[in-house]
């Protein structure tokens, strides 16, 4: 009887072992996000923080070696931060100012900028602005001219000036023979002009506007430019203290209203900017209604700007004896 009992006990043990080995061990689950992977001076590096850094790497199937290296980098950062804090860097005025700017910028981005997204400008508003401000979209009259310059030295003698004048008159005679196929001074400028920026472009000085000065040319020259009436017309020799000039009218563009299609996007952008400025102004007025603001006007008037270079001068080493 005892033999049978022992036999069944043995069979039960074998069956139990077979059953247990058939069940796989429980899978090791991922640690909770709030659990620390490392702690540096009581500051934890959590699983969630580590995962966020992993996500920035954009690497699939990171190896244990890569994860170890990343965690070491995060540990080093926390070491630096903890050491700096113990050294009092968290009270440094420059750091506190930077922190204020970061916080202010983040608040503006989170609270003010979403209000900008609701701003719209309709096509009707753009068209109405165009109709009400057409004077702003008129292109002024402008002329395109070619110029030949023959410079006079400050120390030129009377004989030399006379020689240069004959050269200018010769240039004009050749210019008068140019046909309409050459709108500028063409080869005449190459032979006679000493104004290098325009010489090899036939003297082409580009577009000029009556209400805008041009430092390249004396006022007497630009005055003649705007007095010419016909395309291709060549001026008489213009005498100035700096040299002799010739001018040829290449083209005239009368003032004209720019078409709506050419300016409507510019108008839309301008109206959007104005509306954003209004929303921003309202935002700051709203903040002033919630937070006290005091301004000392008398003290403000008394503040003077520091002298330029004062800090630089203060940092200079003391003068040597005898200097």
Alpha-carbon distance 295 to 173, whole Å? 73
Whether 39 is in a domain gets the answer yes
**184 closest CA partner among 150, 141, 234, 227:** 234
Q: Please report where in the chains the tokens 């196929």 appear, as a residue.
A: 181
Whether 20 is in a domain gets the answer no
Q: How many domains does the chain have?
A: 3
* Strand partners of residue 253: 142
Whether 70 is in a domain gets the answer yes
Whether 287 is in a domain gets the answer yes
Whether 148 is in a domain gets the answer yes
What CATH code is carried by the domain that includes residue 196?
3.10.50.40
pLDDT score of 307? 84
pLDDT tens sequence for the chain (323 residues)? 444 444 434 444 433 443 334 434 444 567 888 899 999 999 999 999 999 998 888 777 788 999 999 999 999 999 999 999 999 999 999 999 999 999 999 999 999 999 999 999 999 999 999 999 999 999 889 999 999 999 999 999 999 999 999 999 999 999 999 988 899 999 999 999 999 999 999 999 999 988 777 888 999 999 999 999 999 999 999 999 999 999 999 999 999 999 999 999 999 999 999 999 999 999 999 999 999 999 999 999 999 988 875 555 445 544 444 43
**Do 131 and 280 belong together in one domain?**
yes
Radius of gyration of the chain, Cα coordinates, nearest whole angstrom: 41
Q: What residues make up the domain containing 97?
A: 92-138+258-291
State which of 231, 254, 277 marks the end of a domain. 254
**Do 284 and 238 belong together in one domain?**
no
Whether 13 is in a domain gets the answer no
Residue 222, Cβ neighbours under 10 Å: how many? Answer: 22
SS3 content of the chain, % helix, strand, coil (to 5): 55, 15, 35
**Do 174 and 188 belong together in one domain?**
yes
Whether 299 is in a domain gets the answer no
pLDDT score of 315? 52
**Do 102 and 120 belong together in one domain?**
yes
């Amino acid at each position: 009887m005892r033999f049978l009992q022992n036999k069944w006990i043995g069979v039960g043990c074998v069956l139990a072992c077979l059953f247990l080995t058939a069940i796989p061990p429980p899978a090791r689950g991922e640690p909770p996000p709030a659990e620390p992977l490392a702690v540096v001076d009581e500051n934890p590096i959590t699983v969630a923080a580590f995962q966020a850094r992993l996500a920035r790497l954009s690497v699939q199937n990171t190896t244990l070696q890569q994860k170890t290296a990343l965690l070491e980098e995060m540990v080093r950062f926390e070491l630096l931060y903890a050491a700096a804090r113990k050294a009092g860097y968290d009270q440094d005025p420059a750091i506190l100012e930077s922190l204020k700017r970061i916080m202010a910028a983040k608040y503006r981005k989170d609270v003010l900028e979403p209000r900008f997204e609701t701003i719209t400008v309709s096509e009707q508003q753009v068209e109405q602005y165009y109709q009400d401000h057409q004077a702003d979209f008129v292109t002024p009259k402008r002329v395109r001219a070619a110029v030949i310059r023959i410079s006079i030295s400050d120390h030129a003698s009377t004989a030399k000036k006379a020689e240069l004048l004959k050269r200018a008159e010769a240039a004009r005679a050749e210019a008068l023979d140019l046909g309409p196929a050459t709108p500028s001074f063409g080869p005449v400028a190459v032979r006679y002009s000493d104004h290098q920026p325009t010489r090899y472009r036939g003297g082409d000085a580009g577009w000029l506007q009556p209400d805008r000065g041009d430092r390249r040319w004396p006022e007497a020259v630009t005055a003649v430019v705007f007095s010419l009436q016909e395309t291709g017309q060549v001026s008489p020799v213009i005498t100035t203290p700096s040299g002799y000039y010739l001018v040829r009218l290449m083209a005239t563009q009368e003032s004209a209203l720019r078409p709506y299609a050419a300016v409507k996007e510019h108008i839309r952008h301008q109206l959007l900017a104005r509306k954003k400025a209004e929303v921003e102004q309202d935002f700051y007025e709203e903040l002033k209604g919630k937070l006290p603001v005091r301004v000392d006007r008398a003290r403000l008037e008394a503040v003077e700007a520091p002298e330029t270079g004062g800090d630089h001068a203060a940092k200079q080493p003391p003068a040597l004896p005898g200097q």
